[in-house]
Amino acid sequence: MEDNIGNVEKSCEVEIGGKKIIFATGKLTKQTNGSVMVRSGSSGVLVTAVMSENPREGLDFFPLVVDIEERMYAAGKIPGGFFKREGRASDKAILIARITDRSLRPLFDKNIRNEVQVIGTIVSVDQVSPYDVLILNGASMALYISDIPFDDPIAAVRVSKVDEKWVFNPTYEEIGKSIIDIVIAGTENAILMVEAGGKEASEDVVIEAIGMAHPEIKKIINIQKEFKEKVGKKKKEVTKFELNKKVAEKVKELASAKIQKVIDSIVKHANEGSMEQLLEVSDKGYLQDEVQIIKKEVIEAVEEEFPEDRESIIVSLKEIERELVREMVLSKKIRPDGRKTDEIRKVSCEVGLFPDTTHGTGLFTRGKTQALTVLALGSIKEAQRIDSLEVEEFKRFIHHYNFPPYATGETGFMRGPKRREIGHGALAERALKPVIPEESKFPYSLRLVSEILESNGSSSMASVCGSTLALMDAGVPISNPVSGIAMGLIKGSNDDLVVLSDIQGVEDFYGDMDFKVAGTKNGITALQMDIKIKGINIDILKEALRRAHEGRMYILGKMFETIQEPREHLSKSAPKITIFKIPREKIGEVIGPGGRNVKSIKEEFKLDEIEIYDFEGSGMVSITSSDDKNTELAKKRIEAVLKDIDDIEEGEEFLGTVVGITKFGAFINLIPGLDGLLHISKISDKRISRVEDVLNLGDKIMVKVSSIDKRAKKIALERVDI
C-alpha cells in the first residue's frame, strides 16, 4: 500500500495455528539496514536491524546485541513510579532478548567484527497471546531482507498441549492449561534453540512437541524466502577477521605438542583410574590450569615477533586447544577431567547451615561448581507486583541467582544482576514453580536466592538442586523434589558424535550444545537448549534427553542421602501464617469502616500482619503471628463478627468482652450487638460474693454457650478455663 507521502509498504503473511502473522516493511525506519513490523491479532512489534559501517578493533568475537524495548503505551498503561517513563529493561524483556540472541548467533559468520544490533520495540499488545515469538521471527526477517550478511533464516513457534491436542502459538489461557509451554527455534533443516517449562512432562512429550513444531517453522521460513525475493537488499561485503597464517603456524609450533602432552597425561591417568591425583592439586581443573600456563608462555614468545597480531595469537591458541580437546573426547571417549561420557562429577549436599536466622538453606556441590541457596518466607502481602505489558501480576514465588566474580577466581564490578544472572534465575524459577504448593495450601510468599560460590559449568542446574534442598530444609510442602543437569555434545566432521553428561566449563566452551534439563522423578519441569552449530536432529535430542533423565535420577539420589522430603514443621525462625475463608460478601464487614475492625484486632492480639482479600471468589483471611494462642483468639474474634444469633450453637466458644456487671453476673459481648450472661456462679471455681472481685469492665475472657433461647435472644454462658 502507499501512504500520503509516497512511502511504499510491502507485506506478506503466514498462518500458524489458525492465527495470521503479518510482516510489513518499507514504510517505517528507513535508515536501518532492515526492519519489519510484525502483527498478530492486535499485537504489533517493530524489529530493526542495524550494522556499523566499520569493524570494531580488538575483538575476538562477533559483536551481536539484541535489545527489547517494552513500551507501556502498547497496553494502554502509564508506567508506575515517580518519573512515569520506562527505565531499565524488565526481566521479561531480557529473557526475550536472550532467546533471540541464542537463536540468531550460530548463523552469523563468527569472523565478522562489525557491530550488529537488533532492537525489538513492542508497540501494541493484546494481552491474549505472548509476543516473544513475534520478535524472534521479526528479527530473522529484518536481518534476512537487509544488506547485513545473514543468509540462513530462522523461525520460531510456541507449542502447548491442551486436552491432548497440540496448539501452536497458544493464548495465555491455553498455556495455563497445558502440560508444557515450549518455544522452538530452528532453520529449515534443524533445531537451534529450545526453551520450555513443563508440569512434569515426559521426555516423549518434549520430543513430540519439537517434531510438531518443525513443519510450522518451515512455513515461516518459506514466507521469509519469498518476501526476500520481493524486498530483499543485496548483502554487503564486510571486512572479516583474517587469521595471520604465520602467527598460526608459530603458535602451533610452540603450543600444540605441549597441550597434547597435557591431554596424553589426562588419558593415561583416566585409564589408570588415578585422575583424582591431578584434580586435587588443580584450581580450575588440571587441563585448564596447565593450558593457562602454556598460553601465557606462548603469548609472550609470539608477541615479541608479532606485536600487532595479538588477536591471531589468541584465536590460534583457542583453536588448537579446541581441536585437541574435541579429538580426545571423540576418539578416546575421555573428557578433560578424565570422566567417561556419561559420568557425573562428585556430588555433595548439606542443609540447615544457618537455622537460627534463615528459614531454609541448601548447599549443593558438584565437582568445582557450588551453589548456596537460602530461602526467605513472608506473607502474601510481600509478593512481587509486576508492572508489565501483561495483565497485572503478583508473584509469590521468586528465584534469584547471583554469580559474583570470585566464583571463577576473578575480580569484577558488582553493579546489579547481569543478563546471564537474570536468565539463569528465571530458568531455575521455571524449574521449581510446578512443585511449589498453591497459596490456599501454603499461604506464604517465597524468595529463593542462589549464591554461586564456585563455578566450573552447570551453575544454573546446581542452583535448582540447592533450591530444592533449601525448600525441603524449610519444611515447604513441595509436591516433588527437583534436580537438574546440563548435557553437552561434540560432533565430528564425519558425523560421529558424543553426548556428554554434566558438562563443565571447557566442554561448554568447546562443545556444540548446552542442553539444560530439570525435573522430578515424574517428568520435566524446565528445559533450555542452545546449539552452537547449525542445528541438530531429533535423534540427538532423544539421546540427550534419555541421558539427562538418568543423570537427574542419579543426582536426586545423592540429594536424598541428605534429606528425602520436606521437614514436618516449618523452620522455627519462619513466620507462622494461618489462613481461613470467610464469605466474600462479609469482607467489608470484617475490615470495618476505614479498616477500623481489622486494625483493632491486629493491635489487640499483637499480630505481625493480618490481611483480608478476595481469593478465587471467596474471602480469605491471612494472619501472621509467632504466637499460636493469639492467632487462634484472633480467628475466633473474626468468626464471631460473621455470626448472628441464628448462627450460634450450644457449646460454641467465644473470646468475649465484659461490657456490663450486675449483682447476679456479667454481660459478655460475643459478637457486635449480641451479649450473653455469665452468671456469678459460673465466674470462678470458688464461691464469690462480688463479680468485681474477679472481673472488670473491658476484660476479655473465653466463654462457652451453655444454653440459648433464640426467640427471646437470651444466651447463658460459662467460663472455658475453669
230-279: per-residue pLDDT in tens?
A: 999 999 999 999 999 999 999 999 999 999 999 999 999 999 888 887 77
User: How, if at all, do strands 64-70 and 114-124 pair?
Assistant: parallel
Flag whether 689 is in a domain: yes
pLDDT per residue as tens digits for the range 306-332: 998 899 999 999 999 999 999 999 999
Q: How far apart, in whole angstroms, are the C-alpha atoms of residue 149 and residue 118?
A: 14
Compute the chain's Rg from CA coordinates: 32
The pLDDT value recorded for residue 250 is 95
Percent of the chain with pLDDT over 70: 99
Task: Answer yes or no: are the C-beta atoms of 298 and 257 closer than 8 Å.
Answer: no
Q: What is the chain's mean pLDDT, rounded?
A: 92
The mean pLDDT of 196-215, rounded to a whole number, is: 96
Which residue from 215, 217, 150, 229 is spatially nearest to 185, judged by alpha carbons? 217
| pLDDT at 136 exceeding the cut of 80 | yes
pLDDT value at position 632? 87
Cα dihedral 159/164/165/170 (nearest 10): -40
d(CA 433, CA 38) in angstroms, rounded, equals 32
**Per-residue model confidence as pLDDT tens digits over 144-173:** 999 999 999 999 999 999 999 999 999 999
Closest-CA residue to 435 (of 479, 375, 468, 469): 479
Q: Which domain does 652 fall in, by range? A: 648-722
Indicate which CATH number applies to the domain containing 634: 3.30.1370.10
> Each residue of 92-101: pLDDT tens digit?
999 999 999 9
Report which residue type is found at 618: S
607 sits in which H/E element: none
* Type and span of the H or E element at 439: none
CB contact set of 276 (below 8 Å; sequence gap of 6+)? none
* pLDDT at residue 604, as a whole number: 84
Is 567 part of a structural domain of the chain? no
Give CA torsion, residues 590, 595, 597, 601, to 10 deg.
110
Q: What is the CATH number of the domain that holds 492?
A: 3.30.230.70
Look at 198-212, 267-281, 515-529, 597-611 and tell me which has the smallest mean pLDDT: 267-281
Residue 384 has pLDDT above 90, yes or no: no
Instruction: Write the pLDDT tens digit of every residue in 36-46.
Output: 999 999 999 99
Give me the pLDDT at residue 644, please.
74
Give the model's pLDDT for residue 4. 40
Look up residue 404 and give its three cell numbers.
559474583
Q: 416 and 450: one domain?
A: yes
Same domain, 180 and 324: no
Contact criterion met (CB below 8 Å) for 21 and 137: yes
Are residues 328 and 352 part of one domain?
no
Contact present, 118 and 103 (Cβ < 8 Å): no
For 531-535, the CB contacts below 8 A with 24+ separation are 531/106, 531/190, 531/191, 531/192, 531/193, 532/106, 533/106, 533/491, 534/106, 534/107, 534/152, 534/187, 534/189, 534/190, 534/192, 535/186, 535/187, 535/189, 535/190, 535/191, 535/192
**Cα–Cα distance for residue pair 650/209, rounded to 1 Å:** 61
Say if 66 falls within a structural domain.
yes
In this structure, are 65 and 176 located in the same domain? Answer: yes
H/E stretch holding 205: helix 203-231
H-helix or E-strand spanning residue 483:
strand 483-491
Cell matching residue 476: 515447604
Alpha-carbon gap, residue 473 to 442, rounded angstroms: 16
At 6 the pLDDT is 47
Indicate whether 3 belongs to any domain: no
Of all residues in the chain, the percent with pLDDT exceeding 90 is 68
Classify the phi-psi angles of 667: left when phi > 0, otherwise alpha if psi is within -120 to 50, otherwise beta. beta
d(CA 677, CA 655): 14
Does residue 534 carry a pLDDT above 90? no
Secondary structure of residue 445 in the 3-state scheme: strand
b/e sequence 173-187, b meaning 16+ C-beta within 10 Å: ebbeebbbbbbbbbb
- Domain end, chosen from 206, 231, 256, is at 231
Contacts of 230 (CB under 8 A, 6+ apart): 10, 12
**Alpha helical stretches, state H, 573-701:** 587-591, 596-604, 628-641
**Helices 419-432 & 91-104 angle (0-180, nearest 10):** 100
Q: 255 and 317 in one domain?
A: yes
**C-alpha distances out from residue 565 to 219, 469, 475, 568, Å:** 47, 9, 8, 9
Helix, strand, coil: what percent of the chain each, to 5? 35, 30, 35
- Among 590, 609, 642, where does a domain finish? 642
User: Does residue 1 lie in a domain region?
Assistant: no
Q: Is pLDDT of 1 > 70?
A: no
Backbone angles phi, psi at 514, to 5 degrees: -125, 110
Pair 282, 378 in one domain: no
Q: What pLDDT is stored for residue 721 in this prediction? A: 81
Q: In the predicted model, what is the mean pLDDT of residues 424-433?
A: 98
Q: Is residue 111 part of a domain?
A: yes
Q: Does a structural domain hold residue 418?
A: yes
Q: Are strands 513-519 and 524-531 parallel, antiparallel or unpaired?
A: antiparallel
Asked if residue 116 and residue 253 are part of one domain, the reply reads no
Strands (E), 302-359: 347-351
Helices and strands per DSSP (H, E), number in the chain: 15, 29
Tell whether 565 is covered by a domain.
no
Q: Are 449 and 592 within one domain?
A: no
| Bridging pattern class, strands 43-55 and 114-124 | antiparallel
Query: Do 176 and 29 share a domain, yes or no?
Result: yes
Which has the higher per-residue pLDDT, 688 or 200?
200
Lowest mean pLDDT, pick from 185-199, 418-432, 489-503: 489-503
392 confidence band (pLDDT: 50, 70, 90): low
CA separation for the pair 594, 591 (Å, rounded): 8
**Count of domains for the chain:** 5
Residues 632 and 652 in one domain: no
pLDDT tens-digit profile of 329-367?
999 999 999 999 999 999 999 999 999 999 999 999 999
- Distance, in Å, from the CA atom of 505 to the CA atom of 486, rounded to the nearest integer, reads 11
- Domain finish residue from 642, 662, 688: 642
Asked whether 655 and 677 are in contact (CB, 8 A), the reply is no
Q: Judge whether 208 and 272 are in contact, CB under 8 Å.
A: no
Whether 142 and 46 map to the same domain: the answer is yes
Same domain, 101 and 160: yes
For residue 120, the SS3 value is strand
Integer Cα distance of 317 and 243 in angstroms? 12
pLDDT reported for residue 5: 42
